[in-house]
Each structure stands twice: as structure tokens, then as C-alpha cells.
Amino acid sequence: MRILLVEDDRMIGEAVSVALRDAAYAVDWVQDGMVAGTVLERGEHQAVLLDLGLPKRNGLEVLRRLRLAGNRIPVIVITASDGVDDRIKGLDFGADDYLVKPFDVNELLARLRAVIRRQGGQAANVLSSGNVSLDPATRRARYEDSEALLSAREFALLHALLLHPGAILTRAQLEEHIYGWNEEVESNAVDFLIHGIRRKLGANVINNVRGAGWMIKNTS
């Protein structure tokens, strides 16, 4: 799961980036609204954490343009302003949730999991398809009679596949979910992670489509 963090406060940006990586997200961090607008046009991310008080283009304008372009990516507004009018504007402009600074990082992560679930049409807190399930809050996965705690990157890979059951994801698509901009993509990382997940849960938990990529069967 790849997150775009738009925050001009360096201390907050660094702290949130570390927390997101520790929670198994790939995170890209930009510090002004103009850059954020350009990056969001690429469609590389699955959710946005958006400050309002940004240089060059404020967060509300970034959000307004995003929704006018038809982009439905989940957006959580994070801001120092706790005024009701600002919250109403943010929600009316299309924000999915709102968090006032200072905030607890665990609350931010919980709200992020919630908006991502809703975007994927999932009400439950556990992602599942058939005999495969994954709890984003604990990083524990189940397949048939096996249960295991996944590493951060194993979790990121399985999470990406479970968000799109039945779809074949290529190596490049999986790498996009696992790595941020400034992280070096390790050689054969996808193969190594899939091997680790299969070793923990079973050989058939992830299906290889030769020459195309990997998938989890859609049994709905």
C-alpha cells in the first residue's frame, strides 16, 4: 500500500513517514501543494494524507482539483486548525476523514485502514478472499489451517493482492506497493517475499500466472 504524505512541517513529516513505514506502508513525502497536484496526476498512490496549510497551493485547493478531475483516492486531511468551518470545507470538498494536530499516530493508522477498507468496498476490518485473510491492524494472515505474522513487506505484498482478488499483478505493480520513491528495489524481492509467505502459510496461498504475474483467487 503506497501512501502520499503532503506535509510542509519537516518534524511532522519525518515522524509520520517513519510511523507509516513501520506499519508496512510505502510512503512518498512532498512538501508543497503544487508538487502534490502533479504527483497525484500519476495515479501511483492508494491514499493521501493531506495538510491544509501548504505553500504554493493550499490543501483545500489540492483536494478541490483532485475531486474535480474525478480522482476518488481516499484523502485524510491533517491540519493544525480545529475550526468547524475548516472541517466542513474539507469534508464538502471531498475529504474522507479529518484529523487535527497534534494527533496520536495509532489513531492516524486506524483511520487510514478504515478509509482504505471503505474505498475497497470492505466493511470488515479483515481483508479476505476464500481461505485467505489478512488483518491490517496486526499483520496476521490466515490460509486454511495456517496462521502467521508477516513481515512488513510480506504484508504489503499480500495486502496488494487481496485488494484486487482475481486480478493478476505484475512484478512492477507489486514493487510499487512495496517501495517508496527513495527506497532501492532489491533484486528478486517479489520472489523472495512470495516464497516467505508460502513458507509460512502454504504453497497455494498465492498463484503464479506464468509470464504475467501473481494473484489470489477471487472466490466471491
Q: pLDDT at position 217, please? A: 85
Whether omega before 136 lies within 30 degrees of 0, making that bond cis, reads: no
Q: pLDDT at position 21, please? A: 87
> Which residue in this structure is represented by grid cell 494473484?
215
End-to-end alpha-carbon separation of the chain, Å? 22
Q: pLDDT at position 7, please? A: 95
CA 49 – CA 78 distance, rounded (Å): 7
Q: pLDDT at position 120, please? A: 60
With contact defined as beta carbons under 8 Å apart, do 172 and 21 qualify? Answer: no
With contact defined as beta carbons under 8 Å apart, do 87 and 114 qualify? Answer: no
68 contacts: CB under 8 Å, gap ≥ 6: none
Q: pLDDT at position 193, please? A: 92
Q: pLDDT at position 124, please? A: 55
Q: pLDDT at position 83, please? A: 67
Q: pLDDT at position 30, please? A: 94
Q: pLDDT at position 79, please? A: 82
Q: pLDDT at position 202, please? A: 92
Where the chain has pLDDT below 70, the residues are: 81-83, 120-125, 182, 220
With contact defined as beta carbons under 8 Å apart, do 140 and 150 qualify? Answer: yes
Can you read off the three cell numbers belonging to residue 63?
483536494
Q: 3-class DSSP state for residue 147? A: strand
Can you read off the three cell numbers belonging to residue 187?
533484486
Q: pLDDT at position 146, please? A: 92
Q: Which helix (H) or strand (E) holds 129?
A: strand 127-129
> Which residue in this structure is represented by grid cell 517475499?
193
3 contacts: CB under 8 Å, gap ≥ 6: 20, 25, 26, 27, 28, 45, 46, 47, 48, 49, 112
Q: pLDDT at position 158, please? A: 92
